[in-house]
Chain A
Amino acid sequence: MTRFLALPFVLGVGLLAVSATGAAKLKVVTTIPDLADMTRQIGGDQVDVTSLATGVEDIHAVPMKPSFAVRLNRADAVVLLGLEAEHAFLPALLEAARNPKILRDAPGYIDCSVYVTPLEVPTRIDRALGDQHPMGNPHYNADPVMAKEAARAIADGLSRLRPEHEADFKKNLAAFEEKLDAAIARWEREAAPLRGKKFVSYHPDLIYFAERFGMEPVGTIEIRAGVDPTPGHIADLEERMRREKVDLVVRELHYPAGLAETVARATGAKLVELPVMVGGVPEAKDYISFIDYDLQTMLKAVKGS
């Protein structure tokens, strides 16, 4: 009889022990792979990380799949770029996920933009100016210095959720920053030929990259952010490119090739195709290799132009 009574108790304790070990990892869902890489490096063995986007998508057009809601439903934290970069899919998915732990302002909502100084903060909010981001351009992940700020926000967020591991997260953050600092120093040396180089991109998602490495964005193929061009705009853009001697056209890989090729051909500019996230091309396996890829591709184009 005693054995009978003891059995459920032993099983219960065993299950608790198993679940305790199983629950040791924080389930973290990031919106883009860049943040997934940083979260893995900072969270170490305390986190189990997945990303909604694979890296080839347009951050403003990530498909709103119900399977994402399932992932978010089970998450302890969601890590996002913020500045409304994910406005097209994340708010609706968070509502569908029914997980109060990761709603905006909950401890599990880790907005990586809190320490970022945004560029292109609009002085006037008006849809005549395109699909504006009222808090500023959200594509800061292309700037490795801003990435350090994002990493800091991730460390803060993980520490909020697991204060007992705060020291580990800080140590991992320091190691990540050190690695990134070394890469930044190298990139800044290598980027010397890019200084002052003018370029046109499809969408203003390389502003931070340009700012970091001294390049000069002259315009976009889109007439306004998020709005496809008219023939008149393309004619004006080409004229301006000729006048200002712009010899680079950047096509972010998630935008159609045809128009960028046409503009490049018409102006004699070199066409550069760049990913804007980790995973955008097979070579961009993690954050450092992503910036490496973009920088080296841009350098090749500049040297060849």
Chain B
Amino acid sequence: MERVHRRWGAAAMAALLAMGSRRVRAEDVPLEELRRELHDLQGQLEKLQGQIKKQQQVIDKLSAEQPKAPPPPATPSGSTAADEERLKRQVTEQVLRRMQPALAAANKTFPSQFNPAIGLILDNVFSYSEKDRGDFEFRAAELGVSASVDPFARGYAIITGSPDGFDVEEAAIVTTSLPYNLTLKGGRFFADFGRLSKFHDHDLPFVNRPTALDRFIGGESQADGVELSYLVPLPQYLTLTAGAYNKLGAANDRVSNTTPRDFSQFTYLGRGATFFNLNDANSIDLGTSYAYTPEVKLDGGASRHLAGVDLTYRYVPLSQASYRGLIWGSELLYNQEDRPVGGFPGATSALSLARTLGVPADAPAVTDPPPLVFKRRNAASAYSYLEARLTRRFYPGFLFDWAQDIDHVGGDTKAYSPYLTVWASEFQRFRLQYTRLDAPEGNDNQFFLQWTVILGSHVHGFRDR
């Protein structure tokens, strides 16, 4: 500090002397005047020194007010290896955490992300029966695609290739954001009738669709139409469904699926389904369905009523759900419609007969239609199966299947089928089944070995539970 003072003072004095010396030489003033000037200069010098001192004081004060420099970092010797390790980890985690949203966003920028999810299911069965002998049956390759349409709907399609050709099994639009707990479905889909009629063949718990369903519904409950479903806002689970379709059942030949018709010739459906949680491990699903066709051409213009009750009991111990459990599923169906006495003539298939009765507009004329006398027929059918989950892989089960003849021509059909499903993984399954068939057309012993795999996208649907 003192050195700074001295420098300022010397510089000022030199400047003043230089100024003074120039003036003396230039004007040649008297000595007294020079002394006076020198005195003035001394005064100015003192004044300057005073100012310098004051400025220095200000500088010192400001310097004192400035924050102190941070302390030097701790020496490495002061920290332990564990602390360093933790610090490194924290820094790494911080960096990764900052990067993560960007990485996630980058993953979602591929245009192909908008493509639907695609899955393919291959279903093959080798069968041997005493009547029909052996057969390697490529049953189906089923392509499934699904995606959101927009914020209001999603869409899906199931396209099946089989020895019979290609078929659109389902292609439907489903709303996702209707108010009041409503869901509307339109297109071709499996109508909400019963339980297993909504399962695709490969999703069934056994190799073949029970005769009880096949005969009364006509395979899967495939339907072209619309369906409105309502989740009743109660603490108890209760859904109500109403639907209107061209017809119900993929193999239902009573009605053409492609011909325009009166409203009286549509099929109308109502269903209620509920669920009872007996305790954490035990539960019951209960549903009742009713399908009404006011006028069926094939039945001479009479109405058809098809009703069903389905009950599913499940034992699923929560802590062992993936490898222990039991399921008991049963359905009872009742059908009432006009049927020809003695059944339809064997030489005429139901569909061609439907054509003769005028269902399709362009049906070929038949010169000599068989005279038929219709009579109101009631018939019932049922199946019941019990399946245990012994391990993650082995699911043995037993199916009992019973169906009356809708035409009351023959007797009842009964089938007893023990089976064993072996899951190699969630996506590959083998199934061995024996069926003892007691049918009016003859008894039979049948053996089946099914091999089913899933490729690509696969979702766990609520419908298939």
Contacts and interface: CB of A to CB of B under 8 A. Distances in A.
Contacts of A117: 93, 96-97, 100
Contact of B426 (A73, A131, A254): A131
B364 interface: no
Given A98-B181, A115-B97, A91 B318 contact: no
Contacts of B236: 70
Interface in B94-126: 96-97, 100-101, 104
Contacts of A256: 320, 323, 391-392
Contact of A91 (B93, B235, B459): B459
A177 interface: no
A65 B283 contact: yes
A57 B462 contact: no
A241 interface: no
Contact of A100 (B177, B280, B393): B177
Given A226-B426, A227-B425, A67 B237 contact: yes
Nearest to A90: B460
B319 A56 contact: yes
A76 B322 CA distance: 30
A180 interface: no
Nearest to A62: B321
B101 A145 contact: no
A60 B321 CA distance: 10
A100 B97 contact: no
Contact of A103 (B176, B425, B465): B176
A122 to B, nearest CB: 12
A127 B427 contact: yes
Q: Which of A57, A58, A66, A114 has most B Cβ within 10 Å?
A: A66
B86 interface: yes
Contacts, number: 105
A7 B276 CA distance: 41
B159 interface: no
A98 B319 contact: no
Interface residues of B, number: 46
Interface string A222-248: 000011100000000000000000000
A227 B280 CA distance: 26
A188 interface: yes
Give the interface SS of chain A, mostly helix, strand, loop or mixed.
loop
B285 interface: yes
A20 to B, nearest CB: 20
B176 A100 contact: yes
A69 B231 contact: yes
Contact of A88 (B274, B285, B460): B460
A92 to B, nearest CB: 4
Contacts of A88: 460
A114 B424 CA distance: 34
A100 B183 CA distance: 11
B182 interface: yes
Contact of B462 (A92, A149, A253): A92
B321 A66 contact: no
A82 B455 CA distance: 23
A149 B97 contact: yes
B176 A87 contact: no
Contacts of B275: 65-67
B231 A98 contact: yes
B316 interface: yes
A130 B424 CA distance: 11
B123 to A, nearest CB: 17
B200 to A, nearest CB: 16
Given A69-B237, A73-B233, A98-B182, A254 B460 contact: no
A89 interface: yes
A110 interface: no
B462 A93 contact: yes
Contacts of A103: 176-177
B264 interface: no
B392 to A, nearest CB: 5
A92 B426 contact: no
Interface string A118-135: 000000000100110000
A239 to B, nearest CB: 23
Nearest to A67: B277
Given A93-B462, A256-B391, A66 B237 contact: yes
A114 B98 CA distance: 11
Nearest to B95: A117
A64 interface: yes
Interface string B296-337: 000000000000000000101011111100000000000000
Contact of A58 (B178, B277, B322): B322
Contacts of A92: 459-462, 465
B318 A70 contact: no
A95 B462 contact: yes
A137 to B, nearest CB: 15
A131 B425 contact: yes
Nearest to A145: B93
Contact of B321 (A61, A74, A97, A98): A61
Contacts of B277: 65, 67
A56 B319 CA distance: 5
A16 interface: no
Contacts of A254: 319-322
Contacts of B322: 58, 60-61, 254-255
A54 to B, nearest CB: 6
Contacts of B283: 65
Interface in A253-293: 253-256
A63 interface: yes
Nearest to A211: B89
A175 interface: no
A100 B176 CA distance: 7
A234 B359 CA distance: 64
Interface string A74-116: 1000000000000111011101111010010000000000111
Nearest to B177: A100
A54 B319 CA distance: 9
Interface in A117-174: 117, 127, 130-131, 145, 149
Interface of A: 54, 56-58, 60-67, 69-70, 73-74, 87-89, 91-93, 95-98, 100, 103, 114-117, 127, 130-131, 145, 149, 188, 226-228, 253-256
Given A57-B321, A92-B465, A96-B231, 12 more contacts: A54-B318, A56-B318, A65-B277, A66-B237, A66-B274, A67-B275, A69-B462, A70-B236, A114-B101, A254-B319, A254-B322, A255-B323
26 contacts: A57-B319, A64-B465, A65-B275, A65-B277, A67-B237, A67-B277, A69-B462, A87-B460, A92-B460, A92-B461, A95-B462, A96-B231, A96-B462, A98-B181, A98-B183, A103-B176, A103-B177, A116-B100, A117-B93, A145-B93, A227-B425, A227-B426, A253-B319, A254-B321, A256-B320, A256-B323
| A-B pairs, 10 with minimum CB distance | A66-B275, A56-B319, A92-B462, A66-B237, A100-B177, A61-B322, A117-B96, A96-B462, A61-B321, A227-B425
